[in-house]
């Protein structure tokens, strides 16, 4: 898989112009959702490099990350004369970069694309690493391909339009990157003041977080080994997310991941000795900032069923990424139903 270029922008106009110039194309398209069309497109639409771009707008939020939405993007590309030599710019959060990347990767067997993530979650996770896809059959990211953008342009100025709820969603993935990297970075993230955000300091943290993910993806682009480290919190987290969607109480991805981290670090403590003090500090931070997803023991079976569909599983065995210590990654750790139910018990006791 080719390596994408991630640019931490100091001048978005110049950075985007240079990226487009390095992607020869016959037609230029820009994909937004209803939010980013209003809040973010005006910022780049004034640039000379964007004057001939054809706009495609889709519905916002994860409920629109569907086959039907994907088909409308394909159809618009076709109706507007896109060829195999066209270029798509995805301007938005993780839903836009995931779906737009998949649309680009499959239209006429693949056209080039550039990601401009506008949410913290997209900057540190969704837009980096080459994963694309859509939700299908009630499951998160069930259909997709590995296909990296040519460029990912990260400009934290976009974050000033985000509410705290969406900032925290992205911050959960940064916290995950801290847990799988170093004690110093983990502690730095726990001590960052999310109530009075220092945006220059946040940009430094974002750059560090992106570098952690890039280093892991470079070692294992197709998730055969160490890239599974990036799934910490996601086995349980995706189940929480799917249950929330099914019960018509959708939650942001990062919140589900944060709650999944609570469960999986507890299991890490039991199975591979993750330190209790660091478990306690991490759970306290998550409880304080993310609140709790309410569910009862009657829903354990459904959560377990969602976990059986996780893409990390093999031969019906549910696999987890666990931690022996901050930075001590243990991939391919299995859990049976009784152990998973014990994780859910701990979650309800610790978070309730």
The set of catalytic residues is 109, 131, 173, 213, 223, 227, 231, 234, 238, 253
CA R_g for the chain: 20
**Over the range 193-228, which residues count as b (16 or more CB within 10 Å of their CB) and which as e?**
eeeeeeeeebbebbebbbebbbebbeeebebeebbb
Say if CB 321 and CB 229 are below 8 A apart.
yes
Using a 10 angstrom Cβ sphere, with 0-12 exposed, 13-18 middle and 19 or more buried, the burial of residue 72 is middle
User: How many helices (H) and strands (E) would you count in the chain?
Assistant: 14, 10
> Alpha helices of the chain — where are they, by DSSP H?
12-21, 34-39, 41-45, 67-79, 94-106, 120-121, 164-179, 183-191, 199-219, 234-246, 253-272, 276-290, 300-307, 337-351
Paired with 325 in beta bridges are 328
User: 225 to each of 127, 140, 197, 237, how far by Cα in Å?
Assistant: 21, 21, 35, 20
d(CA 248, CA 230): 28
Phi/psi of residue 141, each to 5°? Answer: 50, 40
């Amino acid at each position: 898989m080719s390596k994408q270029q991630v640019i931490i922008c100091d001048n978005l106009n110049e950075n985007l112009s240079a990226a487009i110039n390095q992607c020869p194309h016959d037609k230029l398209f820009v994909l937004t959702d209803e939010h980013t069309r209003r809040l973010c497109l005006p910022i780049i639409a004034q640039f000379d490099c964007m004057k001939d771009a054809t706009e495609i707008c889709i519905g916002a939020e994860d409920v629109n990350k569907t086959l039907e939405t994907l088909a409308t993007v394909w159809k618009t590309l076709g109706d507007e004369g896109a060829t195999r030599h066209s270029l798509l710019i995805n301007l938005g959060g993780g839903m836009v970069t995931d779906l737009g990347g998949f649309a680009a990767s499959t239209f006429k067997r693949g056209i080039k694309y550039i990601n401009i993530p506008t949410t913290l979650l997209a900057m540190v996770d969704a837009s980096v690493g080459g994963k694309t896809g859509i939700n299908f059959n009630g499951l998160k990211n069930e259909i997709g391909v590995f296909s990296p953008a040519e460029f990912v342009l990260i400009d934290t100025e976009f974050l000033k339009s985000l509410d705290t709820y969406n900032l925290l969603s992205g911050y959960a993935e940064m916290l995950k990157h801290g847990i799988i990297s170093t004690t110093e970075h983990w502690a730095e993230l726990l001590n960052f003041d999310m109530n009075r955000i220092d945006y220059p300091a946040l940009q430094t943290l974002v750059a560090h977080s992106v570098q952690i993910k890039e280093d892991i993806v470079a070692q294992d682009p197709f998730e055969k080994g160490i890239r599974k480290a990036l799934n910490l919190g996601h086995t349980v987290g995706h189940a929480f997310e799917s249950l929330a969607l099914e019960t018509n109480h959708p939650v942001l991805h990062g919140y589900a991941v944060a709650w999944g981290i609570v469960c999986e670090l507890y299991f890490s403590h039991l199975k591979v000795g993750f330190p209790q003090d660091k478990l306690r500090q991490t759970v306290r931070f998550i409880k304080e900032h993310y609140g709790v997803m309410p569910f009862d023991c009657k829903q354990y079976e459904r959560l377990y069923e969602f976990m059986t569909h996780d893409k990390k599983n093999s031969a019906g065995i549910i696999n987890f990424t666990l931690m022996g210590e901050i930075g001590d990654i243990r991939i391919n750790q299995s859990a049976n139903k009784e152990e998973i139910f014990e994780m859910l018990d701990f979650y309800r006791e610790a978070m309730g």
